[in-house]
Amino acid sequence: MKYIYVENGVINGAGEGRQLDEGALNIEVSDKIYNEFCSDKLKFVYTDGQIVSNPNYEQDKLNAEKISRAEQIRFELDELDKKRIRAICEDEVKNERTGETWLDYYNEQINILRMELKNLEV
């Protein structure tokens, strides 16, 4: 038997055994629903005592992708900040022809990422 677990009206996991936590509902589902849920947690929601297809799936998926990209950008910004600190201390020229320093380069990369992050958060 395959189950999707629900707690406080929200799906919180799936498994092949019953969850014994107090307050957890064990909703028995078909292999097809179980496998689809395991591959994409956003495809189903708990409504009126049943596991049903998520009517807001496309929007929820888009929101999840935005959140994931925002987290990735924040990580990249942290890494660029470390490089920028080194560039301030070392003050080296990245491009002799243009005179661009590493600090200029990292600042530009940071500005691009910050604009993208701002657009994601709107």
Tell me the average pLDDT of the chain: 94
Same domain? For 17 and 71 the reply is no
Question: How much is the average pLDDT of 19-32?
Answer: 90
pLDDT digits (tens, 9 = 90+) for 51-96: 999 999 999 999 999 999 999 999 999 999 999 999 999 889 999 9
- Same domain flag for 66 and 113: yes
The pLDDT of residue 122: 63
Q: Which residues contact 101 (CB under 8 A, 6 or more apart)?
A: 87, 91, 92, 93, 94
The domain boundary residue, chosen from 36, 55, 74 = 55
Shared domain for 110 and 69, answered yes or no, is yes
Task: Give the containing element (helix H, strand E) for 83.
Answer: helix 57-90
Confidence of residue 112 (pLDDT cuts 50, 70, 90): very high
Q: State which residues form the domain around 12.
A: 2-55
